């Protein structure tokens, strides 16, 4: 006597739930990628071999090759830079900023900004690009 099962397992897979998940992930990454602030000032950053990106600081000091200073994409004269940074970072729990210097920027321009950070005990990060 041959026994047959009344309930057969359906081997088909529904892709509807998979596409819902893909669309939700796509929307999530589109929204979060637009939250990352990108500077509009074009500088060629030096390279480094680090794998973990730094945390976004409230202020970014950009130094162009010709020695012009920008804080959060706003051009600041060298003489006004220190006071502008102090007022910008006032009230921060751990005041910090990032230096984005062109790879051909003069060393003295970067050291000038680093001296400001040292004088006022600001934390400092230097932006680089990853080696390829």
Q: What was the pLDDT predicted at 40?
A: 66
Residues 64, 66, 69, 74, CA torsion sign: negative
Q: Report the CATH architecture of 47-130.
A: 2-Layer Sandwich (3.30)
| In contact, 58 and 97? CB cutoff 8 Å | yes
pLDDT in tens, 68-127: 999 988 999 999 999 999 998 888 888 888 899 888 888 899 999 999 999 989 888 888
More confident residue, 46 or 54: 46
| In contact, 113 and 107? CB cutoff 8 Å | no
């Amino acid at each position: 006597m041959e026994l047959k099962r009344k309930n057969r397992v359906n081997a088909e897979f529904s892709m509807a739930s998979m596409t819902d998940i893909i669309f939700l992930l796509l929307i999530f990454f589109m929204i979060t990628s637009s939250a990352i602030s990108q500077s509009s000032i074009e500088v060629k950053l030096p390279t480094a071999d680090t794998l973990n990106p730094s945390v976004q600081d409230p202020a970014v000091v950009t130094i162009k090759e010709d020695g012009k200073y920008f804080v959060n994409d706003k051009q600041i004269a060298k003489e006004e830079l220190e006071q502008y940074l102090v007022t910008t970072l006032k009230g921060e729990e751990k005041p910090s900023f990032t230096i984005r210097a062109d790879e051909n920027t003069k060393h003295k321009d970067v050291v000038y900004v680093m001296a400001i950070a040292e004088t006022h005990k600001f934390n400092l990060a230097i932006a680089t690009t990853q080696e390829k």
